[in-house]
Amino acid sequence: MKELPGAWLQKACRLLVVFCALHLSAVLFYYLAGNPRSLQRSPEPSPRGLALPRRETPTPRPHNSSEPCPDPSPLLVGPLRVEFSRTVEMKKVEEENSNVRPGGRYTPKDCAALQKVAIIIPFRNRDEHLKYWLYYLHPILQRQQLDYGIYVINQGGEETFNRAKLLNVGFKEALKEYDYNCFVFSDVDLIPMDDRNTYKCYDQPRHLSVSMDKFGFRLPYNQYFGGVSALSKEQFEKINGFPNNYWGWGGEDDDIYNRLILKSMRISRPDATIGKCRMIHHSRDNKNEPNPQRFNQIAHTRETMSLDGLNSLSYTVLKTEHLPLYTKITVDVGSPKS
Ligand code: UDH
Ligand code: NGS
């Protein structure tokens, strides 16, 4: 019996449906087999509402504090805004730097710092400036991944100020606390405007405050070595430290420059952009009048440097305080007559 054309059409349609279903299941099977995540939920939003990145390699990089810190530090941000219009509260600065250990000590957690740096600040009656200095410098030094300590050497008594002698005292006293290999000598009123100006030591003595606002962001003269400088322990010892007999303002930094050149060293400096810094304006301090003997003194560094310096340093420590953000050492450095 001959089949009707309608029945053929029905059969053909059924076959087509079966074929399509088979094809679909095959496609679905291969798709799922090749992409196992497709049925998982999409990534959880993180607490900040950002999608978490897919982790193809689930092994996180371990932090190894014995690995040397990279140079330059990856935490640096470059130019910084520095201003002194708002007053800062010491309590707040302390809270913001709660990771700093007593005495102003800090060590990076995730890597081994390349240098152990003692920062020495000559000081008397400049508490307002010191607050700004601590406010700006602690975060910068931490981003620079330095193993550092802050030493404020406070001249006790009312005698004429002696910046260079206080710096010598800082060198000696810091070494009693820790095996520092680099010494940064900084005025209390100078703040760097770029964290790439690293407060560390180099092959040659380093001058850091090369581009100060008060000098129109350039050196006042080529031999200028004042403000902020860095010397390794070896460099400092090679020049017998700094002079002890510059009482009052001026000349001691020129004497230090002479010492370095006389010992065949050169001055290393950052460029004028990275070396930008601001000075906190102030009037002349009492008991720090210009030293009338300074011109005669700097003319004789060659003869005096082996007699006057670390090897002739005498002082008395009156008090040592390990404060939350710095170590304050109050010292009697004597007087011009003594
Ligand atoms: N210093 C003190 N107390 C003083 C004197 C000096 O803490 O009584 C310290 C402080 O760290 C200062 C550094 O020593 O930054 C150098 O002091 P300085 O007086 O030699 O240099 P500074 O650049 O002042 O601070 C220069 C004279 C300012 C005259 C301003 C007139 N407008
Ligand atoms: C020189 C001083 C330096 C002093 C520099 C900048 O004249 O000690 O000026 O001074 N040398 C002599 O006096 C021999 S400043 O403008 O910062 O007060 O650092």
> Which residues, 6+ apart, have CB-to-CB distance to 246 below 8 Å?
162, 163, 164, 165, 252, 255, 291, 294, 297
pLDDT band at residue 51, thresholds of 50, 70 and 90? very low
What pLDDT was estimated at residue 142?
Answer: 98
C-alpha distance from residue 97 to each of 69, 102, 142, 150, 325 (Å): 21, 11, 10, 13, 8
Q: Point out the residues that are catalytic.
A: 187, 189, 249, 252-253, 279, 282, 284
Q: Is 187 in the pocket of ligand 2 (CB under 6 A)?
A: no
C-alpha 281 chain-centroid distance: 23
**Contact predicate 278/191, CB 8 Å:** yes
- Tracing tokens 């679905």 back to the chain, one arrives at 28
Q: Is the pLDDT of residue 74 over 80?
A: yes
- Ligand with minimal distance to 294 CA: 2
pLDDT band at 18 (very low <50, low <70, confident <90, very high): low
* pLDDT exceeds 80 at position 297: yes
Among 25-34, 165-174, 320-329, which is the least confidently predicted range?
A: 25-34
* 102-332: CATH number: 3.90.550.10
Q: Which of 236, 121, 229 is nearest to 167 (CA)?
A: 121
Residues present in the chain in total = 338
Edge-first strand order for the sheet with 190-192 is: 190-192, 276-279, 211-212
Cβ < 6 A, ligand 1 pocket: 121-126, 161, 163, 187-189, 249, 283-285, 288
Distance CA 146, CA 199 (A): 8
Angle between helices 252-262 and 163-177 (to 10 degrees): 60
Q: Which residue has a Cα nearest atom 28 of ligand 1?
A: 284
**Amino acid at site 285:** D
Q: Is the CB of 241 under 6 A from ligand 2?
A: no
Tokens at residue 321, please? 């305080």
Tell me which residue has its CA closest to atom 11 in ligand 2.
251
- When pLDDT is averaged across residues 321-325 and rounded to a whole number, the result is 98
pLDDT 10s digits, 98-154: 999 999 999 999 999 999 999 999 999 999 999 999 999 999 999 999 999 999 999
Distance CA 71, CA 80 (A): 20
Ligand 2 near 248 CB (within 6 A): no
Mean residue pLDDT across the chain: 87
Q: What's the pTM? A: 0.84
Tell me: the pLDDT tens digits for 189-202?
999 999 999 999 99
